[in-house]
Amino acid sequence: MNRLMLVALMSAVVLWGLAGAASAQGPVTLKFAEIHDAAYPTTIGDFKIAELVKERTKGRVIIEVSHSMKLGDEAAVIKKVQEGEIDLTRINIGPVTAYVSSLNAFLMPYVFRDTDHMLKVVNGQVGNDILKAVEKADFLGFGWFDGGTRNFYTKKPVTSPADLKGMKIRTLQSELMVAMIQSFGAKAIPMPHGATYEGLKSGALDGAENNYPTYDETNHYQLAKYFIEDEHTTNPDIIIGSKKALSSKLSAEEIEIIKQATRDAQPLQFKLWAQTVRTAKEKVVAAGCVITTPTPQQKRAFVDAVKPVYDKQPPEIQELIKRIRAVK
């Protein structure tokens, strides 16, 4: 056996040994944080991602979804993901704007014409660009779920921005959302999602803003029975991961598998979300909640009130807003 053949044979043996050692390591288990309960549409979407990843990696990558805030509220989770303590999360974009400012474009009030417009934007080039941008904050962007349309619900009737004046309204921990609520003359109270019920119960809050499924799931409808469909934000939820943790645990191919699984889980999550919105609305109406659908003139008053919020946005956000509105 000549020298070249010997070197080639030894190299093959080494590679075979490394492959065997890798397979002997067993599956990689990833922690996925979710604040909602197991039956919530976003949580079911999370489970679908986990199912697809397990199947497509042949059991090499196992995603364990910890729902119902078992790993902390949104503010705590996002920090743990960045630091690598938690691998993945599905999260409202509001808290993430503190780390990725370009996400503020998706949080702008009344920027999306409707849910279909929002989904076209996030699944297109604008959404892809923002998923790439999150890497600068030590995250990996995997995709989007439908986070629903947010509206105000209060203890007293609201039909115009003037009715919100002086009210204490819970909102996301986001500077932009605080600015929006202040533009209506209300007092914005940014606080964790889990603290809202007690705030409404104690009187620390006069109302809050969220979507129908959350209004129902959290029993907020029992404390604030007036709901106005002003639809100030139609925002996506983002699925992100820890750049630090995942780059050390997974191959580039496995990371791409999670990205594709997230995209493939969308149809199920979107379908369940639409069903849940209908069911939640029917439930709260049956419970005696008063639903107000603004007239076009009333809706225009809300849109006009937030113009100063748009005027204060930096050039980066102004450009993204133009791109969003250009999507047909």
Give me 168's structure tokens: 């204490």
> Which residues lie closer than 8 Å to 101 by C-beta, 6 or more apart?
314, 316, 317
Report pLDDT for 173.
85
Alpha carbons 264 and 272: distance in angstroms, whole number: 14
Q: Reduced to 3 DSSP states, what percent helix, strand and coil does the chain have, rounded to the nearest 5?
A: 55, 20, 25
Residue 15 resides in a domain: no
Report pLDDT for 26.
83
Report pLDDT for 24.
41
Alpha carbons 176 and 100: distance in angstroms, whole number: 13
In degrees, rounded to 5, the angle at the alpha carbon of residue 116 between the alpha carbons of residues 308 and 286 is 90
CA atoms within 13 A on the CB side of 166: 3
Residue 8 resides in a domain: no
Report pLDDT for 4.
41
Q: Please state the length of the chain.
A: 328
Q: Which residues pair with 238 in a beta bridge?
A: 91, 144
Quote the DSSP letter at residue 189: E
Residue 44 resides in a domain: yes
Residue 50 resides in a domain: yes
Domain encompassing residue 287: 25-326
Residue 217 resides in a domain: yes
> Which residues lie closer than 8 Å to 281 by C-beta, 6 or more apart?
212, 291
| Radius of gyration from C-alpha coordinates of the chain | 23
Give me 188's structure tokens: 């914005």
Q: Exposure pattern of 174-209 as b/e (b: 16+ CB <10 Å)?
A: bbbbbbbbebbebebbbbbbeebbebbeeeebbbbb
Give me 124's structure tokens: 């297109």
Residue 161 resides in a domain: yes
Identify whether the C-beta of residue 35 lies closer than 8 Å to the C-beta of residue 73. Answer: yes
Using DSSP, state whether 231 is helix, strand or coil. strand
In order of 80, 82, 100, the CA distances from 243 in angstroms are 12, 7, 14
Report pLDDT for 23.
39
Stretches where the chain sits below pLDDT 50 are 1, 3-24
The torsion angles phi and psi of 231, rounded to 5 degrees, stand at: 55, 50
In order of 100, 246, 291, the CA distances from 130 in angstroms are 9, 19, 35
Report pLDDT for 19.
38
Report pLDDT for 11.
43
CATH number at residue 257: 3.40.190.170
Cα 132 to its chain centre, rounded Å, is 16
Residue 3 resides in a domain: no
Quote the DSSP letter at residue 97: T
Residue 211 resides in a domain: yes
Give the total number of structural domains in the chain. 1
Element (H, E) at 209: strand 207-210
